Structure 1
Amino acid sequence: MFPLFKNINWKRYDESTGVPSLSKNTIKKIRVSFPQNNEQVKIGDLFQKITQIITLHEEKKHQLESLKSVLLQKMFANKNGYPAVRFEGFSNEWEERKLGDAVSISSGVTGDATLQDGEYRLTRIESISQGTLNVARLGFTNKKPDQKYLLNLGDILYSNINSLSHIGKVALVDTAGIYHGINLLRFQMRNDVDSEFLFQRLNTTPMKNWAVSHANPAVSQASINQTELSKQPISLPTITEQQKIGSFFKQLDKTIALHQRKLDLLKEQKKGFLQKMFV
Structure 2
Amino acid sequence: MAKTNTNPEVRFAGFTEAWEERELGDVAKFNPKHEIPDVFNYVDLESVVGTEMISYRKEYKITAPSRAQRLAEKGDVFYQTVRPYQKNNLLFDREDKDFVFSTGYAQMRPVIESSFLFTLIQKDEFVRVVLNNCTGTSYPAINSTVLASIKLYFPKSKDEQTQIGNFFENLDNLITENQQKHTKLQSLKQAMLDKMFPKQGQLIPEIRFKGFEGNWEEINVGSICKTTIGVFVIKTRQNDLSPYPVYNGGVSYTGFYDEYNNEANKIVISARGANAGFVNIVRTKYWAGNSCYSVDVLDKGLFDIDFLFYYIKKYQRRFLENQQSANIPSVSKSDVERFKVFYPSKTEQSAIAKYLLSLDNQISNHDLQIIKLQNIKKAFLAKMFI
Q: TM-score normalised to the size of structure 2? A: 0.63
Q: How many Å separate the matches in 2 of 1:120 and 1:273?
A: 33
Asked whether 1:215 is paired with 2:331, we answer no
State the one-letter code of the partner of 1:230: E
1:69 counterpart (190, 207, 213): 190
Q: Provide the residue aligned with 2:231 in structure 1.
A: 109
Structure ID, larger Rg: 2
1:259 counterpart (354, 360, 366): 366
Alignment of 1:33-182 (within 5 A): 33-35=153-155, 36-78=157-199, 79-117=201-239, 121=244, 122-126=246-250, 129=251, 134=253, 137-138=254-255, 140=257, 150-163=261-274, 166-176=275-285, 178-182=286-290
Asked whether 1:2 is paired with 2:118, we answer yes
- In the TM superposition, residue 172 of structure 1 has moved relative to its aligned partner by 1.4
Asked whether 1:185 is paired with 2:302, we answer no
- 2:185 aligned counterpart, secondary structure: helix
- 2:227 aligned counterpart, secondary structure: strand
- 2:294 aligned counterpart, secondary structure: strand
- 1:222 aligned counterpart, secondary structure: coil
- In the TM superposition, residue 17 of structure 1 has moved relative to its aligned partner by 7.3
- 2:268 aligned counterpart, secondary structure: strand
1:244 counterpart (339, 342, 351): 351
1:18 counterpart (109, 129, 137): 137
- 1:93 aligned counterpart, secondary structure: coil
Which is strand-richer, 1 or 2?
A: 2
Aligned residues: 260
- 2:335 aligned counterpart, secondary structure: helix
Q: Provide the residue aligned with 1:194 in structure 2.
A: 304
Kept after mapping to 2: 8 A contact 1:105/1:226? yes
State the one-letter code of the partner of 1:76: F
Alignment deviations for residues 35-78 of structure 1 (CA, whole Å, 9 cap, x no partner): 11111011111111111111111111111100100111111123
State the one-letter code of the partner of 1:238: S
State the one-letter code of the partner of 2:281: L
- In the TM superposition, residue 115 of structure 1 has moved relative to its aligned partner by 4.3
Kept after mapping to 2: 8 A contact 1:124/1:138? no
Kept after mapping to 1: 8 A contact 2:249/2:276? no
- 1:53 aligned counterpart, secondary structure: helix
Which is helix-richer, 1 or 2?
A: 1
Q: How many Å separate the matches in 2 of 1:120 and 1:108?
A: 18
Structure 1 residues without counterparts, runs of 5 or longer: none
Q: Provide the residue aligned with 1:229 in structure 2.
A: 336
Q: Which one scores higher on RCO, CA 8 angstroms, separation ≥ 6?
A: 1
